[in-house]
Structure 1
């Protein structure tokens, strides 16, 4: 029997699994490739996200920032705008229902469930909007609660539907609603989870759980749209899961297949939570760092699976994995950064003081500092943010350090990562691969931990640089079905 078969047929003690939004929009794949694969649907918990695109309608578009119901309500102007958006949302959710349910009675109940939630939400927001017209009430004081209320609708909708649909397949599925919709008391997250699962027999019942959990900690205030991963992570920890699994619509691969080609990108078989953190720093989360921290501390392995390729063992992420053979596992990066260079002759021997003041300014302006470097009289920040925010921060830095020369430039970063990159000559190979493509290196970093190498080049060279590094550092090794198969 192959290693792959072993990993799929090993006995499942208790697996806590999260299903992403794009996967949730493909019900048959979730049913056949997750729930009914490879055999029994039990001894697992499924934590689900909203259907693809629904949270964009509820809050705001994740990439473009176009306001959804929340964004329009938060403006506090014309109430017709957010109400129209809410009705657009209602129509979209009912449309999803009509495509999923062929049984008329089930469709009727599913529509009634989500209709009631949207109608109740509308009434609450109308009352709040009216109250905040009076001077004693500030709308901004309630916006976090509004955001939470709206976010919960998406997960409640998808979890309810999945639980009902699976009953048609003979699965004893149960809808576990952690959104706190009708609860009068707010519990700490751990207690909320303990209460919800207290009477569940996992050997005969498949819980379908909302990715949003209403609790004292208010997950959305800390994790914003990463809340479902925190819910998933904490459930795994509290239930002492044998394994945590995230089902996505793609493999965690050696590079973006769109850049290096489907035929050249290789799935990652094993890696570490350390590498997962490095990916998150680049905005390419395998899992939210806060959620990963809980799993890592509890020594729970995390597996990333491709929903549409269930026979592949996926990526196993553990706390202590380190490749026996030094190698590069992933080429990733950020295609648009702004480098802010602060040069000041008075900085000599004062770098720590300068850095502390500089970071206060970037934090205040919500500029994500991806990386930084410094020498005797210069600190350079590599920032992932809008030009407008960077300009505000730069103006404040000029006021703070009147003797400094501050310049900005557009760059991108390509990064080579691996759980063990102590490869002799690696730096030389990387530099040569870019030089062969006529790419000039503006800056680069590699620290003693030897898990990541960052190279900064002109922003127009991103795709070419990723392909060059992937060809030179990964493709030449012909890894096969996965890097570190298991």
Structure 2
């Protein structure tokens, strides 16, 4: 056994996830993650599809432009989705050509993904023909179609990475959880244990698909966040000592695009509690349900920057609480709608009103980011489309005919920290915004002292983030991490 293998055999198991943007930078993944620093094994890598591939498979994450799935789901144009599938095929073969310099390896990689796409095309054609008969409804099969298509992206990237690493003496093994050849669905945990049953982690490096075919139908609950749940359950079932997510950026004190790259500081340490607060704002370190499994299993999560391997990253644990009270993150959310429901008949009936109100927001798929109330008013701060919010507002008017309902556009800026019991913190925050001429429309801070939410005019978000970051974080000159370890 080599010295490297001795080191690997003696270290505990870590389960690591590589994001799509990082996956598209193969040399950085190879040099900064796989071969860094001196051990190869006792690690499991769960990989996402290459950047942009899932947009082509499903729909564009930001614009909503339909991919293969979106076009197929319309059910009225066979040519459109088939053309989209061929566009996808060309893109994946182009990625292969850029990655593989060895002609024989390229041939095998192309054959692998060609077979998947061709088989998928035949399945979708047959399904479309079956659903053209009155006894079969296409919409009843769309979730399965979405899963089938989503799995192609991760199978492509995982197969490629496993194959490429073998060129560098790595005993890598492609582990396909996509269920391509499985006849029956298994529960996710059972599927994981079966897939890893015969792997010796001290001598083999598994490269695993981020999509896992299972009876829980991950995509129905997590949609495009399924890879984090796969990653989390693998870590739990294999009893990993640590879970690691490799991203193209650090988990930082604020968005570097708003406060400047030289001013944003890696957090270094924080808690799963703070990770939940970030997820509520759409800035996930990890999906809350995936984080829950790690937290319950007492597995710490480390967020690493793929392009800065020497930095220790940010360690997230269940029990972390900063010894010195401080603000760790300035984050927030733009484009919120505040829906204010004022009704003098609400006095002493807030809970009854709230129950009915939340039923309406759930029915209309409106994300309530925050809410507040007093004796006769409940205000909801909603993240959602104007169409959905308008529909919900109309239903509020029907439910509460005596109420006055008003809406306004706001942004929310949030200061977070595992321990924010800082004397005068509220005064500092208010003063920093006042110095920039920003009026505070509303604010919240509860007794747990882990988050302060401030609502400002919709167009003042960037200025507010920068002002709070300067006053509450930058003045402390934290160096290369707020909490070093």
Q: Structure 1 length normalisation: TM-score?
A: 0.98
Aligned to 1:5: none
Aligned to 2:55: 56
Aligned to 1:178: 177
Q: Distance in 2 between matches of 1:345 and 1:190?
A: 52
Structure 1 residues 125-163: Cα deviation after superposition (integer angstroms, max 9, x where no partner): 111111111111111111110000000000000000000
Aligned to 2:24: 25
Aligned to 1:83: 82
Aligned to 1:391: 390
Q: Write out aligned runs for 1:8-157 (5 A).
A: 12-157=11-156
Other structure's SS at 1:349 match: coil
Q: Write out aligned runs for 1:22-421 (5 A).
A: 22-421=21-420
Structure 1 residue runs of 5 or longer lacking an equivalent are 1-7
Aligned to 1:3: none
Q: Distance in 1 between matches of 2:270 and 2:49?
A: 28
Q: Distance in 1 between matches of 2:91 and 2:321?
A: 46
Moved more, 11-20 or 439-448: 11-20
Structure 1 contact 300–318 (Cα < 8 Å) conserved: yes
Q: Distance in 1 between matches of 2:350 and 2:134?
A: 47
Other structure's SS at 2:211 match: coil
TM-superposed CA distance for 1:9, in Å, is 11
Structure 1 residues 414-433: Cα deviation after superposition (integer angstroms, max 9, x where no partner): 00000000000000000000
Q: Distance in 2 between matches of 1:201 and 1:11?
A: 13
Q: Distance in 2 between matches of 1:9 and 1:448?
A: 45
Structure 1 contact 9–38 (Cα < 8 Å) conserved: no
Other structure's SS at 1:316 match: strand
Other structure's SS at 2:245 match: strand
Q: Are 2:435 and 1:440 aligned?
A: no
RMSD of the alignment, in Å?
1.2
TM-superposed CA distance for 1:11, in Å, is 6.5
TM-superposed CA distance for 1:45, in Å, is 0.1
Moved more, 434-443 or 131-140: 131-140
Moved over 3 A (4+): 8-12
Structure 1 residues 392-438: Cα deviation after superposition (integer angstroms, max 9, x where no partner): 11111111111111111000000000000000000000000000000
Q: Distance in 2 between matches of 1:381 and 1:481?
A: 38
Q: Distance in 2 between matches of 1:11 and 1:413?
A: 48
Structure 1 contact 341–380 (Cα < 8 Å) conserved: yes
Q: Summarize the Cα distance change of 1:253–1:317 in structure 2 as closer, same or farther, 3 Å threshold.
A: same
Structure 2 contact 280–369 (Cα < 8 Å) conserved: yes
Aligned to 2:3: none
Q: Distance in 2 between matches of 1:42 and 1:113?
A: 26
Other structure's SS at 1:470 match: helix
Q: Distance in 2 between matches of 1:165 and 1:365?
A: 47
- Count matched residues: 479
Structure 1 contact 175–209 (Cα < 8 Å) conserved: yes
Q: Distance in 1 between matches of 2:405 and 2:90?
A: 51
TM-superposed CA distance for 1:258, in Å, is 0.4
Structure 1 residues 198-232: Cα deviation after superposition (integer angstroms, max 9, x where no partner): 00000000000000000011111111111000000
TM-superposed CA distance for 1:35, in Å, is 0.3
Other structure's SS at 2:46 match: strand
Q: Distance in 2 between matches of 1:9 and 1:282?
A: 38
Structure 2 contact 8–39 (Cα < 8 Å) conserved: no
Other structure's SS at 1:380 match: strand
TM-superposed CA distance for 1:12, in Å, is 3.3
Q: Distance in 1 between matches of 2:335 and 2:248?
A: 25
Q: Distance in 1 between matches of 2:159 and 2:8?
A: 29
TM-superposed CA distance for 1:77, in Å, is 1.1
Q: Distance in 2 between matches of 1:482 and 1:12?
A: 26
Moved more, 129-138 or 197-206: 129-138
Structure 2 contact 8–42 (Cα < 8 Å) conserved: no
Structure 1 residues 62-86: Cα deviation after superposition (integer angstroms, max 9, x where no partner): 1111111111111111111111111
Moved more, 126-135 or 312-321: 126-135
Structure 2 residue runs of 5 or longer lacking an equivalent are 1-6
